[in-house]
Amino acid sequence: MVALLDDIGPLGTNLGDHRSSGLLPTHGTPWITSLHDLETIAQVCQRPSEFLLYLRRRTDSDVTTYYKGADELDLFMLFMDADLYVEPDPDQLHPQHPDAPRETKRARPTHDEDAVLTFVGDQCAELDAWMNRDSLVPGAPQPVKPTYRALPRVLDLVDAVEAHGNGMVRFGADMFALSEETQQTVLKGIDECIRRTRLDGQPHDGMISLAGAWGHPTLFFFTRPHASDQDPVLRRFAAYIRLKRHQLGSDRSYGLLFDEDGNFELAMYFNSLPEADANLDALVKAANLQEPAAAGPRVPPFARRTTRRIRSGRKNR
């Protein structure tokens, strides 16, 4: 990240132009912004994970290529509206994550629809009103602070997990990056495990692969009955995560444990990079884990939400 004293306008927002000219590197592109905009963004973001996701989006190759704007805060407010995203090219994604489940058939048309030049106009009316709240006359209605748009249950889950311990900021960023449809899929998977544990009094588990432009996170969720001790359940689930993430080539995994009432109990985080390991290969085979190809197409994690459209500047096609 490069923070400047002066606002350099489009010179800072249009990073794709600098990359194509060779001024900035293609990989590891820094985010260039002014101290004023950085301070404003810091005041608005309620969670570290929101800021991390914004850094990902602003330095992502496709976003920097296809989104143009005159002001950093216009891009930021579009991001807060759960936009500012380009579906990854499936032809590039699969070679990066060959062991992940294959993309859905709609990945190609979604990428082609997203990969068009988008000029972002003024998005800051809500932000300007909130930033100028101290200049209002006494008794005037107070403007509402802008917040990141996500499902309420997802916001509560992210807050609970991030409060659990270190390393969970990435969990929040990965969850917020999901489309509303995929967020619902995660919540339904958790609810189904809870339902089954209530019915039969046994632990249950589920897993979702979220391979994308920013690595291959995998999310595991587990439920246990009140009658079972937590430690043996955790040992079993940790062993399963270790094998499954090796099979999928996942660079980071999250394990969430819930009781049969749906209460979140704890989170596990694994972030060792995938590497060749004959012993783990043998254990995966012995455990008879389902092959990724047999699991069906992966859930499309980062598709743009369909309930909101860019309010200005979208180029007609």
pLDDT tens, residue by residue, 40-57: 999 999 999 999 999 999
pLDDT at 314: 39
264/64 Cα distance (integer angstroms) = 37
pTM of the model: 0.85
Helices (H), the chain: 10-13, 15-21, 35-44, 48-59, 61-66, 72-80, 90-96, 107-114, 125-131, 152-162, 169-176, 180-200, 230-248, 278-287
For residue 8, name the pLDDT band (cuts at 50, 70, 90): confident
pLDDT at 265: 94
**pLDDT tens digit string along 165-183?**
766 899 999 999 998 888 9
- Read off the pLDDT of each residue in 301-309 and give the average, rounded to a whole number: 42
pLDDT at 28: 79
**pLDDT tens digit string along 78-132?**
999 988 888 777 677 666 666 666 666 666 777 677 778 888 999 999 999 999 9
pLDDT at 99: 65
For the cut 50, the answer to whether the pLDDT of residue 310 exceeds it is: no
For the cut 70, the answer to whether the pLDDT of residue 249 exceeds it is: yes
CB 88 within 8 A of CB 94: no
**Mean pLDDT taken over the chain:** 85
